[in-house]
Structure 1
Amino acid sequence: MAANKNLLVLAGDGIGPEVMSQVRRVVEWMDKRRAVRFDVTEDLVGGAALDVHGVPLAEATLERAKAADAVLLGAVGGPKWDDLPFEKKPERGLLALRKEMELYANLRPAICFEALVEASTLKPEVVAGLDIMIVRELTGGTYFGEPRGIFDLPNGERKGVNTQVYTTHEIRRVAAVAFELARKRGHRVCSSEKANVMESGVLWREEVTKLHGEAYGDVELSHMYADNCGMQLVRAPKQFDVIVTDNLFGDMLSDVAAMLTGSLGMLPSASLGDPDETGRRKALYEPVHGSAPDIAGDGKANPIAALMSFAMCLRYSFDLGDDADLIEAAVKAVLGSGIRTGDIMATGAKLVSTQEMGDALLAELDKRAA
C-alpha cells in the first residue's frame, strides 16, 4: 500500500473496549507481518462520550469519523444511561454517525461455521453451510421519518408517532448494493417489505423491480413479505442468498439470521455510503452483538464478531481481499480446534477468555503467514 490508511477506533461501552483491544492486536500484527499499515486514532462514542462530553457523539468526533478511511466501532449503551432523555441516550451517537456519514447500506452476513453447527438452536441439516447476506437500508424509514415523537392529546391520553417514509432514490441505491453483491455470490436477491399493507412497501417493491429490469437482469429477483421472510429464515434459511430490506425490517430480520449461526458474538457488519470521485466510501464496521453489560469487564466477551468486522473493513474499504480471507480462515481454524468463548461453548471444547481467544487467533495467523 502506497500510504498508511487512517482508522478511527470508537470502542464505546460495555464489552466494546474488550473486543476492540483484540482487533487492535490484529491491526498491529498486520503492520508487522503483512506490511498493511494503518494510522489508528481512538475517540469516544455512546455512554463513554456522555460521561466526558455530555453528548453521545461530540462534533469533533463526528468530523474525525467523516475524515477517516474507515471507522471501527465496538458497542454502545448500558443500564448506567437508561434514565437519560431519549435524545441523550448512548444509541443516539451511533444513529448520528450512520445518518451524518450517510451510511445507507448495512451489510450483515450470517455464516454458520462448520464447527458451530451444533451451537444453533435449529437442526444441523437446516443451518449447515449457511451463507446469507442481509442488506439493510440504514438511514431512512421508521427510525428517521418525520413526524415523530410523543404527543399529548386533548382527552388526556398520549400518542406515540413514528413515520415510515422512503423515496425512490433511497430505495434504488440500497437495492443496487444488494444486486452488486449478489453478482459476486449466488446471483439471487430477495427483496422484503410489507407491500400488502404499507404504501411504502408498495413503492419499495415497484422501485426494486424497475431497477432490476433496467440494470440487473442477470440476477434472479424475488419478493417476500417481511413476516414470511422471518418465518422462512427459521424454516429453510439456505433458500436465501442476498436479502435486501428496509431499516425496521432489516433490524429484525438480521437478528433472526444472526441466531441461526449460534451466537450474536459471531456476526460482523459493515455500513457503507456512496463512493466519492476517488472511489472511497465512508464506512463504519461493528459487531452485531451490542454492549452486553452483564459480562462487561469479565473477560468473557467473544471478540470474533469484531475481528470479522475488521476483515470486512479490509475487504470493502481497502480492497484487501487476501488479507480478509486470511483472518476469516484463522477464525475458522481456531473454532475447528475446539477453542470457545462462553457464548459458543460446547461439550468437549476448551473454554477461553477474550484475551485467550485473541491469543489463539494471533497464533493461527502466525502459522498461516509463516
Structure 2
Amino acid sequence: MPAGPELPSCYRRRVRRLGSRTLSRTSLAAALTVGAWLVLAPSPPGTPAATPSLPSLRTAWPAAAVIDTPARLADGTDFLPLLYVTPDVSLGTAPTPDHAAQRLLLRTTAGERELRRVDATLYPQFFGFTHTADHVYWAESTTAAATETGFWRAPLSPDGAATQIVPPGDVGAATFFGSEDDLVIADDHLYWAATGTTTTRDAGAVTEIRSVPIGGGAVGVRRLDGEYRLSTWPWARTIPGVKGPQQLLDLETGARRTVVGAAAEQLACEPVWCRAVVTTGSDQVALYDMVRTDGTDRRRIGAGTVTAAVPDVARLDRFEPLLQAQDPAAASSPWRLVLYDLVRDRTVAITDGVGAVRANQNMLWWQTRSGGAVQWHSLDLTTLT
C-alpha cells in the first residue's frame, strides 16, 4: 500500500523546542523529525467513501494560475521549497552534488542564488520562514556537541549576503509547529515564542514572546503564564491538539477570547476561524467542522475521508486546504488536494496524486510525481476571486 502524503499532522502536538542546550540522541532525533514539515500523515481508510463530483480549479476560478516547476536542478540535485514569496520565487534547500553540504537557495526564473551552505556533518535544518517585501527570514539549526539555533535574514534582490540577526544564545527554547506564524514580522520587529523557565517545581507553564528589530539588535522578552504560540498578529493562542477550550490573547490590548468546543473535539483556532475535529482511536478523522471563534456559522466540511493539509487554519480567513482520501491501493499517492471556500461554501478539487502540501501567507504549493519525476506547483490564493 502506498504511504500517506508527507505533511504536518494538525491534530497531534508536534513541537520543536530548540535552544543552545545539549539534546539526548532520542530527543535530538525527535526534534529533527518535528522540525521538518514533511511528516507522514495518517494512512487513508481501507475502503474510502464514494467521492462526490467536485468542480475543478479552472472551473471555479478561471483566472487561477498554477506555476509548475521541476524539483530537479541543473546540477542534478533535488530542490525542496520551504517558502514561496510569489508563484515563481521560492526559497528552499538542496544538497551539494557531492552531498557534503546542505544549501539554502533562492530560486527564480533566472536561476538559483545560494544564500547559505552548511556542512552536512552539522545536520543543518532550515525552518520558520517568513518574509517582507524585500527580505526573507528563517531559523537555522546545527548540531555538533549541542544543537544551536539562530535566526537569519537575506535580501530578495539578486545580490546581498545572508546575515545572522539573532545568535543561538538569544533565541531561547524556541517552539516551532510548521506554522507560518512560527516567526512573525510586525512593527519592524521579528517575533517568536519560546518555552520559559520556572523557579519552582509547582509553577505552571510559562511562554516567552521574544522579539528583535528586523535588522538585528537587542532581544526583548515578555513572559506569559500558560503555553502559547503566535497566531495572526497581534494574537497568540494556546497550543492546539488536545481536547478542551482554546484561548486567544491580543498581545497589544490584552483582550482575551475563549473558544469552547464539544467534549470530543480538538480545536485549532485563529482569530477568525477554528478547525474543530473529532478523531477515532486510530487517529482517523471522524468529523471535520469549521466554526467562527464566536461559535457561529459552523460548517461540516468533511468526515472520514479528509484531513487538514496544512497546520494553519483558513488561509486568508477564507480557504481551508484539505486532503481527501482516494483509493489507497492506487500506484500513485492516494490523496487528492481540495480547497474548501468559506465564502462560497463549496469544495473545489485542485489535483490528485499529491505527495506534500505547504502554505504561507497567500501562497499554497504542493508536490506531485509522474514517472519518477517530482514537480512542485504553486498557487497565489489572492487570484481566486
Is the TM value for this pair above 0.5?
A: no
Asked which structure has the greater RCO (Cα within 8 Å, sep 6+), the reply is 1
**TM-score, length-scaled by structure 2:** 0.29
Larger helix share, 1 or 2: 1
Q: Which has the higher strand share?
A: 2
